[in-house]
Structure 1
Amino acid sequence: MIIKNRLIPIRIRQNEALIRRIPAAHSQRSTIEGDLAKRKAGYRGEQSLDYYLSHLPAKEFTILHDLRLFNGSTYFQIDTLILSPYFALIIEVKNILGTLLFDETFNLLIRTRDEKEEGFPNPLIQAKRQKTQLKTWLIQNLACRYTNRISNWHKQPLYYLKTSADSTHVPFRVIHIQHLIEKIKFFKQSYPIEVITSRQIKKISRALVINHVPGFLNILDHYNISSKEIISGVQCPSCLIFPMRRIHGDWLCPQCGCKNKKAHLPAIQDYLLLISPAISNKQARAFLHTASEDTASRLLSVMPSSGTKKGRIYFLQ
Structure 2
Amino acid sequence: MIYKKRTLPSELKALISLDKRLPNNHDKKHNVKKNLLICQASYNGKLEFDEHINEFRPDYPHAILHDLYLQQDGAYFQIDSLVITPSSITIVEVKNHIDKTVIKANPTQFIRVFQNGERKAMRNPYIEIDRKIHLLKNWLGKRGIQIPIDGILTFAHTNELAIEHPSPEMKTMFTYEVPVHFRSLPVNEQILDGHAIYNLANALLEHHKEYNTFPIANLYGINPADIRPGVICPICDRLGMQWGREKWNCLSCGHTGKTEHRQTVEDWFMLVQPKMTNREFRYFTQLNNRNVARGLLAKSGLQLIGERKAAHYILMKEGKSPTPVE
TM-score using structure 2 length: 0.87
2:202 aligned partner:
206
Q: Measure, in 1, the Cα distance between the counterparts of 2:219 and 2:305.
A: 33
CA contact under 8 A between 2:100 and 2:112: conserved in structure 1?
Answer: yes
Q: Secondary structure at the match of 2:276?
A: strand
Residues 1:297 and 1:202: Cα distance change in structure 2 (over 3 Å): farther
Matched, 1:102 2:112: no
Aligned to 1:64: 65
What SS does the aligned partner of 1:93 have?
Answer: strand
Instruction: Give me the whole-angstrom Cα distance separating, in 2, the residues matched to 1:199 and 1:239.
Output: 49
Among residues 161, 174, 177, which one is paired with 1:176 in the alignment? 174
Letter in 1 for 2:132: Q
**Alignment of 1:23 onto 2:23:** yes
Once the two structures are superposed, the pairs formed by residues 168-247 of structure 1 within 5 Å of their partners are 168-169=167-168, 173-187=171-185, 189=186, 191-217=187-213, 218-247=215-244
Q: Aligned partners of 1:92 and 1:304: how far apart in 2?
A: 35
| Structure showing the higher helix proportion among its residues | 1
User: Contact 1:109 / 1:122 at 8 angstroms: preserved in 2?
Assistant: yes
Deviation at 1:106, TM superposition (A): 4.5
How far is the alpha carbon of 1:126 from its aligned partner? 1.0
Q: 1:87, 1:151 within 8 Å by CA — same for their partners in 2?
A: yes
The one-letter amino acid paired with 1:79 is: D
Conserved in 2, the CA contact under 8 Å of 1:112 and 1:118?
Answer: yes
Do structure 1's residue 77 and structure 2's residue 78 form an aligned pair? yes
What is the aligned residue count?
A: 310
* 2-structure distance, mates of 1:309, 1:293: 17
> How far is 1:93 from its partner?
0.4
Asked if the contact 1:155–1:174 (Cα under 8 Å) also holds between the matched residues in 2, the reply is: yes
Q: Hey, which bits of structure 1, 4+ residues long, moved more than 6 A?
A: none
Q: 1:125 aligns with which of 127, 130, 133?
A: 127
Q: Which moved more, 1:214-223 or 1:287-296?
A: 287-296
Residue 266 of structure 2 aligns with which residue? 269
Give the 5 Å matches for 1:98-177. 98-114=99-115, 115-140=117-142, 142-146=143-147, 149-158=148-157, 159-165=159-165, 167-169=166-168, 173-177=171-175
**Higher normalized contact order (CA 8 Å, seq sep 6+, divided by chain length):** 2
Is 1:251 aligned to 2:251, yes or no?
A: no
Secondary structure of 2:229's partner? coil
How has the CA–CA distance of structure 1 residues 297 and 201 changed in structure 2, closer, same or farther, with 3 Å as cutoff? farther
Q: In angstroms, what is the RMSD of aligned CA positions?
A: 2.3
**Hey, what's the Cα distance between the residues in 1 that align with 2:235 and 2:198?**
46
Whichever residue aligns with residue 85 of structure 1, its letter is P
Q: Secondary structure at the match of 1:36?
A: helix
Q: Which moved more, 1:208-217 or 1:294-303?
A: 294-303
Q: Structure 2 CA distance, aligned partners of 1:294 and 1:107?
A: 63
User: Which amino acid in the other structure matches residue 204 of structure 1?
Assistant: L
Return the alpha-carbon distance in structure 1 between the equivalents of residues 236 and 179 of structure 2: 46
Distance in 1 separating the partners of 2:201 and 2:225: 43
Percent identity between matched residues is: 24
Task: Give CA deviations for 1:147-196 in whole Å, capped at 9, x if unaligned.
Answer: xx11111101223222345x4427x6101112111111222x2x422111
**Kindly tell me: are residues 301 and 49 of structure 1, through their superposed partners in 2, closer, same or farther at Cα, counting changes over 3 Å?**
farther
Mapped to 2, the partners of 1:163 and 1:238 lie a distance apart of 46
Secondary structure, counterpart of 1:224 in structure 2: coil
User: For residues 86 and 302 of structure 1, what CA distance do their matches in structure 2 show?
Assistant: 48
* CA distance 1:241–1:305, shift in 2 (3 Å): closer
Decide whether aligned partners of structure 1 residues 5 and 281 sit closer, same or farther in structure 2, where only a CA change above 3 A counts: farther
Structure 1 spans left out of the alignment, 5+ residues:
none
TM-score (normalizing by structure 1): 0.89
| Cα distance in structure 2, aligned partners of 1:32 and 1:154 | 28
3-state SS of paired residue (2:135)? helix
Is 1:304–1:314's contact at 8 Å kept on the other side of the alignment?
A: no
Unaligned runs of 5+ in 2: 319-326
